């Protein structure tokens, strides 16, 4: 389904039985006004929405972290499987997750939209409310963006800004031989959630994880502030691919133990009779938005006590080795081969490294 696909004979758009105003009627400035009215000011925002550019103040001595993600209807989301509120939340979540993975504090973001003129105003209203609800949870302020018409399908681009002092920023390239590898939360739920949605299921824990991922902002920052992580990344492409980004960036390799991979109760339950698929999906599924990081083995207890203080599950899943590559090992010591996974937009296939 595309936005406004419920076209009536006179070309007007219906949502359910109720006729709602479309962007064609509200106009670009009507939409911008609606978005501006919903967003409040925030830390460091000297000039927000409404002028030619926003003016932001960052803390003296901090570096500005900036990140951008684009979500295209038909590639990143399917409007028949999600709702505008959760789409708004997820569009921001993927950016906040990137700020978290650098160990930063999110401050502000820009929202650029290409929307079909037939899109109902109500849709954008819900979308913006969803996005601003997540922004509020993390203290991030919407400070501007751009809005234009799309000939076909919705395109969402969010650019987020965060800050952190330079010697606390955590990169992908700092893993050292002997470091331990940790991951927050559980893996594979989002991929399972998408599969369940495609089969027609509507609700449940895995579906919630797919449609409304919670970025680990507090956790990334706490790790960075404590100086515990030597490298960090958020899991967007799947554990195998994202571990590969750390090992490639750090010129090392990794041993990961299958039986240690954290899996949720509903996930295990679903794959009860399919152990192969259970691991394969957890390692390659993607969109978990958990944090994957390394820390010196001497800091194991410090890592565990930090996560218990912030009430977040964390699991030690392996260690960094000198031999290149990401190696998954079964309990009997045999290696478990997986494609790295990840999605290449131009090759249009999974597993493109």
> DSSP for 107-176?
EEEEEEEEE-TTSBHHHHHHHHHHHHHHHHHHT-EEEEEEEEE-SSS-EEEEEEEEEEEGGG---TT---
Does 25 contact ligand ADP by CB under 6 A? no
List the end-to-end C-alpha distance of the chain, in Å, as a whole number. Answer: 31
Q: Cβ atoms within 10 A of the Cβ of 46, count?
A: 10
> What is the smallest separation between the CB atom of 84 and ligand ADP, expressed in angstroms?
14
DSSP bridge pairs for 233: 292
Q: How many angstroms separate the CA atoms of 51 and 36, rounded?
A: 11
Q: How many angstroms separate the CA atoms of 179 and 259, rounded?
A: 19
- Fill in the per-residue mask, 141 to 180: x = in contact with Mg ion (CB under 5 A), - = not in contact: -----x----------------------------------
Does 342 contact ligand ADP by CB under 6 A? no
Q: How many angstroms separate the CA atoms of 301 and 82, rounded?
A: 40
> What is the smallest separation between the CB atom of 140 and ligand ADP, expressed in angstroms?
13
Q: How many residues bind Mg ion (CB under 5 A)?
A: 1
Out of ligand ADP, Mg ion, none, which partner does residue 262 contact, by CB within 5 to 8 A per kind?
A: none
DSSP bridge pairs for 69: 158
Rank residues 75 and 148 by Cβ distance to Mg ion and give the closer one: 148
Range in contact with Mg ion (rule: CB under 5 A) among 103-111, 138-146, 216-224, 228-236: 138-146
Rank residues 11 and 29 by Cβ distance to Mg ion and give the closer one: 29
Q: Which of 94, 101, 113, 154 binds ligand ADP (CB under 6 A)?
A: 113
Q: Cβ atoms within 10 A of the Cβ of 34, count?
A: 14
Q: How many angstroms separate the CA atoms of 189 and 34, rounded?
A: 35
Out of Mg ion, ligand ADP, none, which partner does residue 145 contact, by CB within 5 to 8 A per kind?
A: ligand ADP
Q: Which of 142, 181, 191, 278 binds ligand ADP (CB under 6 A)?
A: 142
Which 278-337 residues touch ligand ADP, going by CB under 6 A?
none
- Fill in the per-residue mask, 39 to 58: x = in contact with ligand ADP (CB under 6 A), - = not in contact: ----------xxxx------
Q: Which one, of 189, 176, 200, lies nearest residue 296 by Cα?
A: 176
Q: How many angstroms separate the CA atoms of 75 and 102, rounded?
A: 26
Q: Which of 15, 147, 150, 312 binds ligand ADP (CB under 6 A)?
A: 147
Q: Which residues bind ligand ADP (CB under 6 A)?
A: 32, 35, 49-52, 111, 113, 142, 144-147
């Amino acid at each position: 389904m595309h936005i406004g696909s419920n076209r009536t004979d006179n070309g007007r758009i219906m949502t359910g039985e109720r006729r709602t105003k479309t962007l064609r009627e509200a106009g670009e400035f009507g939409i911008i006004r609606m978005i501006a009215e919903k967003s409040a000011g925030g830390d460091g925002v000297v000039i927000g929405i409404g002028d030619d550019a926003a003016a932001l103040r960052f803390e003296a001595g901090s570096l500005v972290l900036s990140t951008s993600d684009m979500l295209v209807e038909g590639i990143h989301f399917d409007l028949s499987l999600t709702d505008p509120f959760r789409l708004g939340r997820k569009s921001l979540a993927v950016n906040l997750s990137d700020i978290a993975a650098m160990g930063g504090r999110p401050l502000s973001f820009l929202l650029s939209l290409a929307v079909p003129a037939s899109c109902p105003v109500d849709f954008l209203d819900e979308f913006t409310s969803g996005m601003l609800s997540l922004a509020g949870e993390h203290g991030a302020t919407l400070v501007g963006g751009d809005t234009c018409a799309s000939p076909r399908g919705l395109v969402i681009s969010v650019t987020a800004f965060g800050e952190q002092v330079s010697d606390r920023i955590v990169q992908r390239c700092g893993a050292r031989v002997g470091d331990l590898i940790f991951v927050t939360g559980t893996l594979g739920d989002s991929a399972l959630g998408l599969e369940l949605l495609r089969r027609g299921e509507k609700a449940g824990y895995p579906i919630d994880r797919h449609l409304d991922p919670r970025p680990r902002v507090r956790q990334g920052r706490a790790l960075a502030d404590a100086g515990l992580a030597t490298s960090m990344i958020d899991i967007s492409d799947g554990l195998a691919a994202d571990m590969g980004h750390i090992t490639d960036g750090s010129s090392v390799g990794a041993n990961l133990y299958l039986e240690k991979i954290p899996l949720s109760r509903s996930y295990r339950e679903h794959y009860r009779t399919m152990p192969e698929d259970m691991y394969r999906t957890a390692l390659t599924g993607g969109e978990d938005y958990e944090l994957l990081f390394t820390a010196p083995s001497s800091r194991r207890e410090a890592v565990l006590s930090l996560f218990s203080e912030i009430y977040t599950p964390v699991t030690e899943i392996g260690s960094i080795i000198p031999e290149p590559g990401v190696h998954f090992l079964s309990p009997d010591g045999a290696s478990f081969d997986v494609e790295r996974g990840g999605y290449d937009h131009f090759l249009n296939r999974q597993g493109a490294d």
